[in-house]
Structure 1
Amino acid sequence: MSRHENPSHADPSAPKPPAHQTDGGDPASAHTFQVDLRGLVDLLSHHLYSSPRVYLRELLQNAVDAISARQALDPAAPARITVHAADDLTVTDTGIGLTEADVHTFLATIGRSSKRDAEGRLDGAGLAGARGDFIGQFGIGLLACFVVADEITVVTRSAATPDAPVIEWRGASDGRYTIRTLPPEAKPEPGTTVRLAPRADAAEWTRADRVLSLARDFGSLLRHEVTVVDGRGTAHRVNHTPPWADRQGSPLARRDALAEYCRATFDFTPLDTIELDLPLVGLRGVAYVLPDAAAPSRRAGHRVHLKGMLLSDQAAELLPDWAFFVRCVVDTDGLRPTASREGLYADETLAAVRDALGARIRDWLTGLSASDPALLHRFISVHHLAVKELARYDDELLRMLLPWLPFETTDGNVTLDEFARTHPVVLVTRTVEEFRQVAPIAGAAGLGVVNGGYTYDRDLVHRLPEIRPGTSVADLDPTTVTAHLDTVDPAAELAAAAFLTIAREVVGRFDCDVALRSFHPTSAPALLLDNREARHERTRAQLADEADGLWADILGSLRAEVPRAQLVLNHLNPLVRRAASITGRELAVTAVEALYGQAVLLTRRPLRSSESALLNRSFISLLDHAMLGHESAGPQKES
C-alpha cells in the first residue's frame, strides 16, 4: 500500500519549466505558482458560483462525463448514477474511473480536466475527439464541493486498465491530499464514488430533501439513470425523457404532454406551444406562449440544459428581446457554457441560435392567421404590444398582422382595417395627451383620429397605406380640429367681445389664445388645443424664468416662434353663453379661470404649479360668489 502527499499543491507529473538566460548569460531561477486553496474556494463560492447548490451539479456532471467516457470504450457498459443522501453524501457512478496517475494529474491539479487535452483528446482514456461528448471542460468542478465540505474522499477504479487497483484520494480544503491503494473488494466494479463530509454551516444543502430537490432540478433531463436514495433507503428516480423527445401518441396527446410539462416546470398553462429543433447545434425543446401579458422590459428566464444537465433557468439571452411573450426549455449539445456553467457564453453560435429561434417563433406567429384565427385573436388580445414591436421591423409580419391589431381611436378600440373602412383619411396624434384633447370633439365632427401616443402605435399607423392602398395617414394638427368647428354668428361674438377680452387677458398668462366656436357635444364647455411645439416652448420659458446666469441666457437664445395653445369656448354650451353675458370683471375673471382649468383637466396632463393655483383660486371664488348670492337673497319663507 502506497501513500503520497503533495503539500506544495504542484502537479508532480507536469514537466519542469526550463531555466531562462538573462542578458548577462546567467540562468534565471524558475519558480512555480503556488495556490492558496482556501482563498480559491472562497473565490468560487462568493464570485464564480451563484450558490452552494452547484456542488451537486458538479458531482452529477463528473459522473455523467465518466460514464460517457466509458461508453466510448464499451457501448454496452452500465450507465447508472446513485446519490445517497445520508450523514455523509455519496455519489457513485459506473463510469471510466481513474488510475493512480490520473488521480495525481486531475484531482490534484486545478484547471486540468480529465475530459480534454490541448488537442481535444480525452486525457484519462486516450480517446481522440471525445471532448464534445462531455459537459465539464474547465477542470474546477470538484472544487465546488469544498463550498459545503472540508474534506472530499474519492474511491475509484479504472475501466481503461485491466486489473486496475482501487485508489482512494482524500483532499482537504487547506490544500493537502493523500492517496492510498485499497483492496479490490473495496470497489469490485469500475467506477467512482465521491463522499463528502458536510460542514455544520452547510448542512442545509446536504439534507435528503434538499439533495432530492437539487437532483431533480439539475438532472431531470440527464440521459443516464440518476437515482437518489434518502436516509430511509427509499430510491427516487429523478430524470425522465422530455416530452419533445417522445414521438409516441397522437398530436393531441403530444400537445397535452407538452402543456403538462409547462405546468410542472413553470407553473402556468400555456396559450400555445412552439416546438424548437435546431439539429446543427443539437438543440431540442419547446417555447411556451404566456397566457398573460408580460412587460417588454421584463426579459423572461429560459431553462437551458447542456447535454441534459441544467445550465441555467434564467437564460434571457437565448431569444431576441421582442420574444418576451414566451418562456423556453431547451436541451442542447452545441452551445458553450461560461466557466461557472450557470450561463451561456456569448459567441457567434449563440447569436445564430438566437436568430434561428426567433425566426421559428415568428413563423408560428405568421402561420396563425391561416391555421387558427381564433387563437391569433386570443394571442393579440394578450400580447399585442409584442406583435407591434416586431411588426415595425418585419414587413411580412406587418402585412399579415397589422389589420388584426387593436388601436385606440375616436371609434373606440378597433382594428386599423375596420377603422380605415370608415375613415379613408386617418389622423394620428403624437401623444396620448393630444388624443385626449381632441377625441370627443373630433369624433362628433366625423374626424377619424387614432391615438399614436402609445409605444409603436404612431409608426405602425403611418405604414397603413402599405397595407391598404388608397388610405391616407397624416399627423393631427390642432388647426385641423379648429377648421372643423363652426364659427358663431358675428352678432353673438360682438355681444361677447368684452368677456372674450377679459378671457384673452387671463389665459394669456399661460401662452394661450381664446376663440369662440360652436361644436358638439354641447356638454363640453371648452376645448384646449395644444401641440407639442407649444408645450416645449412653454417648458423652455418656464425653465428660463427659474434659471439664472449662463443657463438662463442659453435657454433664452433658444426661444422659438411657435403657435400658441388655444382655449376654444363652445357657444352651444349654456354655461358659456351665460358666462359671455357677465358684466362684472371679477366674476368674469373667475369664470374664465374655471373654464380654462376644466379644459386643462380634460387633457389629463400633469398640472403646472400655476395651473393648480388657478384651479384652487377659481373654485374658492365661485364658492364665495355663490354664498354671497345666497345671503343677498335673504331667508326663504316657508310655504
Structure 2
Amino acid sequence: MGAETLSFQAEVARLLNIVTHSLYTNKEIFLRELISNASDACDKLRYLALTEPALLDGDATLGIRIEIDKPGRRLAVIDNGIGMNRDDLVQNLGTIAKSGTAAFVEGMAAAKPADMNLIGQFGVGFYSAFMVADRVEVTSRKAGENQGWRWASEGAGSFTVEEAGEVPRGTRIELQLNKEADEFLERARIDRIVKTYSDHIALPITVAAEGAEEKVNSAAAIWARPKADITEQQHREFYHHVGHAFDAPWLTIHQKAEGTIEYTMLLYVPSEKPFDLFDPDRKHKVKLYVRRVFVTDHCEGLVPAWLRFLRGVVDSEDLPLNISRETLQANPIVQKIRNALVRKVLSEIEAKAKQDAESFAKFWDAFGAVLKEGLYEDFEHRDRILKLARFRSTEGDALVTLDDYIGRMKEGQSEIYFMTGEDLGKLKTSPQLEGFKAKGIEVLLLTDPVDDFWTSMVPAYEGKALRSVTRGGIDLGGIKGAKAEPPKEEAAKEGDIATLIAVVKTALGEAVKDVRASDRLTESPVCLVAAEGDMDMRLARLLRQTGRAPEAAARILELNPRHALVKRLAALAAAGGAADQVGEAAHLLFDQARILEGEGPVDPAAFVRRLNEALARNLAA
C-alpha cells in the first residue's frame, strides 16, 4: 500500500506555522519534550505488561536512545514503549484532541517569543521538533501488533502515513535538522541538554554517536531520593517534565508517609496559571505510581477537582499493581491518600500565605477561583478554604480576608455583605452599593462565576451571616457609619410616593414582584433586588444561560424617593390625570434597572420608542 497523504487539523497547521516561524531562542526544549513523551510511552507499556506480559515481546528492558548522525544531519529519539499504530499516529500527531484548541492557538498566535512555552503546557510538545527540523519522520509499532507504520511531515499543511513493515516495538522520531540547528549534532551539547532537563527520568537514556554509546542520566525516581539530596534545579526540571510547564514551581511539597499505609508524594503548585485550568473535564495532572511503576495520570479519586492545578506524582507502596484503573477511585487506600494529600497541601499553602503575603496574592489571583470550588464541593475542608480565601472589596484595591472584613465591621453591623458580578469596575458603580458607600460599610466584590454558587452554600462565617446586597429587606438604619453621611435630599411626600408606587405597580404588572421605596439608593433613581427566599439575580442568570434554571423570577423594583426624577413622577401621580405618562416612565425606569443588571430591556423596540418620546417632550419644553 502506498503512502497516504492527509491534512493537518486546521489548528495544528496554524500552530506549526507559528512554531516554524517563531523567534523562540530556547530551542533545545524540543529534546526535553520528545524525551518526556518517550518516557510516558515506556511508563504506559510497563503498566499494561503487568496483566499482559506478552506485550513486552522479549524486550523487557525499557529505555530511551538518542542517535546522532552528523554527516546525515539527523537526530533520532527512540523508545521501546507502547508504540503507535496508524490510527494513533493520525490522531496524536495530526490533531490536538483537547477542548479549547482554537483558543489555545489564538493564544499562541498572540504570544511573544518568550511565551512560546505554551506549546509544552498544552501537551503538544511534539510539534516543537519543527523549530529545528525541516522534516520529521516517525516510525512506530504498537505493542501487541505486527504491523509498523511511518508518519512523515515537513511541517506544512499535510503529512503522510504508510506501512513500514517489520520494525521494533516502540517509536523512533527522526529529525532532519535545518541549517540553524548545527549545535544539536554535537555529542557534548546533547549530553548537556539531557543532564539539564531529563536527569530525573526513571529510565536509562543513552546517547549514541560516532560508534560510541553511553548512558547520560541518573535514571532514578526523583521522589524516592532523600529530600536533602534534591536540588532546586532538579525539582524545577522534574516539575517541567511532569507538568509540561516552563515556569518555576510556586510551591514544592515532598513527603514520605510511613505507618498504616506508605506512600510518597512529590507535588508542585505552578507559579503561572496552566492554559487548560478551566477545561470542562476538570481533571487533575498528578500521576499515580505503585512501587515506582506508573499506573495512571487520571486517577479520579486521588486529587479533588478544586486542587487540579497541582502537578507531580504520588507513589504508593500498598496498592496492588494489578488494580484496574476503573476501581481505583473506590479503593480505601486511595481515599486515605487523598485525605492526607488535601490536608498537607492546605497546610503548606497556609504556611506560604503567612510567610509571604505578596507572593500568596499572586497565587490567589491565579488559582483562587479554582480553590473556591472547594467551598461548594468539600464541606470537610470548607472552613480552612474560607480562612485562605482573599477578596476584592469597596475598601480599596488590596485583597482582604473574611477576618479582615469582620475586624472592620461597623457598630451595629451583624452581617458580611457581598455582591457578585462579571466585572469589578461595574460592581463598584452599581446602584445597590450607594447606601453602603454613604455609611462607609464595606462590601465584598466577587467576580468569579463560582462565587454565585459557594455563597449559596455558605450561610455564615464566624457567626456572621453572609448577605448579598442585591437582596431586598436589608436595613442599614441600625448601622452606625464610620463617616458622616452626606446631607440627604428632601424626600417626596409619603403620600405622593405611595400613589406613585401604586401607579408603577399597575403599569408594570407581573413584570415585577413588588415596588417599594428604597433606603439603599442615594444617587440612582431605581434598582432591582431579589425577594427574600428567591435565587440571587446573577446566579439565576448564570443558570438560565446554561439551561439549568426555570424562567426568571420577577424582581422587586426599588424607587429612590429623594431622586429628582422620582420626586417629579410622584408629584405627577399625586396630581392625577398623568397616569399614562407616569406608566411610560415606569417602563423606562424598569428597563434602566435591567440594563444596569446586565439583562437588557424586556422589549428593546418599545424601550427605544419610549426613550425617543421622552427626549422629544423634554426638548420641546
* TM-score category, normalised to shorter length: 0.5 to 0.7
Conservation of the 8 A alpha-carbon contact between 1:54 and 1:144: no
Amino acid across the alignment from 2:608? F
- Which residue matches 2:408? 422
Are residues 398 and 592 of structure 1, via their aligned partners in 2, closer, same or farther at CA, if it must alter by over 3 Å?
closer
Secondary structure, counterpart of 1:479 in structure 2: coil
Report the equivalent of 2:526.
526
* Aligned equivalents of 1:319, 1:591: Cα separation in 2: 56
Is 1:597 the equivalent of 2:591?
Answer: yes
Task: Give the Å deviation of 1:289.
Answer: 0.5
Contact 2:491 2:561 in 1 (8 A): no
Correspondence for 1:291 among 263, 271, 274: 271
Deviations 1:38-67 (A, max 9, x none): xxxxxxxxxxxxxx95699359979xx99x
- Aligned twin of 1:626: 615
Instruction: After TM superposition, give the deviation of residue 380 of structure 1 in Å.
Output: 3.5
Distance 2:535 2:62 in 1: 72
Larger Rg belongs to:
1
Cα distance 1:533–1:242, how it changes in 2: closer, same or farther (>3 A)? Answer: same
Deviation of 1:526 (Å) = 1.0
Q: Which amino acid aligns with 1:290?
A: P
Structure-2 residue corresponding to 1:405: 389
What displacement does 1:288 show? Answer: 0.5
Report the secondary structure of 2:338's partner residue. helix
Map 1:87-236; keep pairs closer than 5 Å. 145-149=143-147, 200=165, 206-207=171-172, 209=174, 225=204, 227=206
Alignment CA distance shift 1:603-1:56 (3 Å): closer
Cα distance in 2 for residues equivalent to 1:387 and 1:411: 23
Per-residue CA deviations over 1:320-374 (Å, capped at 9, x if unaligned) read: 4443231122445443345788996853333333333333323323433555555
**Does residue 240 of the first structure (1) align with residue 219 of the second (2)?**
yes
Deviation at 1:573, TM superposition (A): 2.1
Q: How many residues align?
A: 430
Amino acid at match of 1:263: H
> What is the match of residue 506 of structure 2?
505
SS at match of 1:596: helix
| Contact 2:303/2:338 (<8 A) preserved | yes
TM superposition shift of 1:277 = 1.5
CA–CA separation in structure 2 for the residues paired with 1:290 and 1:343: 29
Is 1:349 aligned with 2:350? no
Q: Unpaired runs of 5+ in structure 1?
A: 1-51, 67-78, 93-142, 151-197, 466-470, 541-554, 556-561, 634-639
Matched letter for residue 456 of structure 1: W
- Contact 1:496-1:580 at 8 Å conserved across structures: yes
SS at match of 1:318: coil
Separation (CA, whole Å) in 1 of partners of 2:208 and 2:291: 24
Q: Name the SS of the counterpart of 1:423 in structure 2.
A: coil
Distance apart, 1:461 and its partner CA: 6.2
Letter in 2 for 1:415: T
Contact 2:503 2:583 in 1 (8 A): yes
Aligned to 1:24: none
Q: Tell me whether 356-365 or 433-442 shows the greater mean CA deviation.
A: 433-442
Aligned residue for 1:302? Answer: 286
Contact kept, 8 Å, 2:270 with 2:309, in 1: the verdict is yes
Give the Å deviation of 1:625: 4.5
Q: Is residue 456 of structure 2 the alignment partner of residue 462 of structure 1?
A: no
Closer, same or farther: CA 284–406 of 1 in aligned 2, 3 Å:
closer
Q: Kindly tell me: are residues 223 and 511 of structure 1, through their superposed partners in 2, closer, same or farther at Cα, counting changes over 3 Å?
A: closer
Structure 1 residues 396 and 254: alpha-carbon distance in aligned structure 2, compared to 1, 3 A threshold = farther
Give the deviation of 1:592 after TM superposition. Answer: 1.2
Whole-Å separation in 2 of the counterparts to 1:234 and 1:383: 45
In structure 2, the residue matched to 1:569 is 559
Question: CA separation in 2, counterparts of 1:535 and 1:279?
Answer: 48
Distance 1:519 1:231 in 2: 82
Q: Which residue of 2 aligns with 1:360?
A: 344
Alignment CA distance shift 1:238-1:576 (3 Å)? same
**Cα pair 1:369 1:400 within 8 Å, conserved:** no
Equivalent AA in structure 2 for residue 421 of structure 1 = G
| Residue identity matched to 1:357 | L
SS in 2 for 1:145: coil
* Paired residue secondary structure (2:285): coil
Secondary structure, aligned partner of 1:319: coil
Output the amino acid matched with 2:514: D
Name 1:135's counterpart in structure 2: none
Measure, in 2, the Cα distance between the counterparts of 1:491 and 1:56.
Answer: 76
Separation of aligned partners in 1, 2:465 and 2:516 = 29
Alpha-carbon distance between aligned partners in 2 of 1:80 and 1:512, rounded to the nearest angstrom: 71
What per-residue deviation string (whole Å, max 9, x for no partner) do you get for residues 115-137 of structure 1?
Answer: xxxxxxxxxxxxxxxxxxxxxxx
CA distance in 2, matches of 1:419, 1:341: 45
The question of 1:442 aligning with 2:428 is answered no
Give the aligned partner of residue 22 of structure 1: none
Check 1:61–1:283 CA distance in 2 against 1; reply closer, same or farther (3 A cut): farther
CA distance in 2: counterparts of 1:463 and 1:322, whole angstroms: 20
Given that residues 513 and 567 in structure 1 are in contact (C-alpha distance below 8 angstroms), is that contact kept between their aligned partners in structure 2? yes
- CA shift, 1:620, in A, is 1.2
Q: Evaluate the alpha carbon distance shift between residue 490 and residue 592 of structure 1 in structure 2; reply closer, same or farther with a 3 A threshold.
A: same
The 2-side partners of 1:318 and 1:396 are apart by 16
> Would you say 1:479 and 2:455 are equivalent positions?
no
Deviates more, 1:324-333 or 1:586-595: 324-333
Which secondary structure does the structure 2 equivalent of 1:456 belong to?
helix
**What is the alpha-carbon distance in structure 2 between the residues aligned to residue 82 and residue 326 of structure 1?**
27
- One-letter amino acid of the counterpart of residue 439, structure 1: L
Give the letter for the 2:257 counterpart.
Answer: L
Q: 1-side partners of 2:535 and 2:66: how far apart?
A: 71
Q: Which amino acid aligns with 1:277?
A: K
Aligned to 1:261: 238
Give the C-alpha shift of residue 503 in structure 1: 1.8
Question: Residue 502 of structure 1 aligns to a residue in which SS?
Answer: helix
Structure 1 residues 395 and 203: alpha-carbon distance in aligned structure 2, compared to 1, 3 A threshold: closer
**Cα 1:324–1:577, aligned 2, differ >3 Å: closer, same or farther?**
same
Secondary structure of the residue aligned to 1:275 is: strand
Q: C-alpha distance in 2, partners of 1:55/1:419?
A: 50
User: What secondary structure is seen at the aligned counterpart in 1 of 2:219?
Assistant: coil
1:278 aligned partner = 257
Look up the SS of the partner of 1:271 in the other structure.
strand
Which residue identity lines up with residue 276 of structure 1 in the other structure? Q
Post-superposition offset of 1:416: 1.5
Q: Give me the whole-angstrom Cα distance separating, in 2, the residues matched to 1:534 and 1:316.
A: 35
Consecutive unaligned residues of structure 2, counting only runs of 5 or more, are 1-39, 55-60, 70-75, 82-140, 149-162, 176-189, 480-486, 541-549
Cα RMSD for the two superposed structures? 5.5
Distance 1:616-1:254 versus aligned 2 partners, 3 A rule: same
SS state at 1:590 partner: helix
Quick one: higher RCO (CA 8 Å, sep 6+), 1 or 2? 2
Q: Could you tell me how far 1:271 is from its partner in structure 2?
A: 1.1
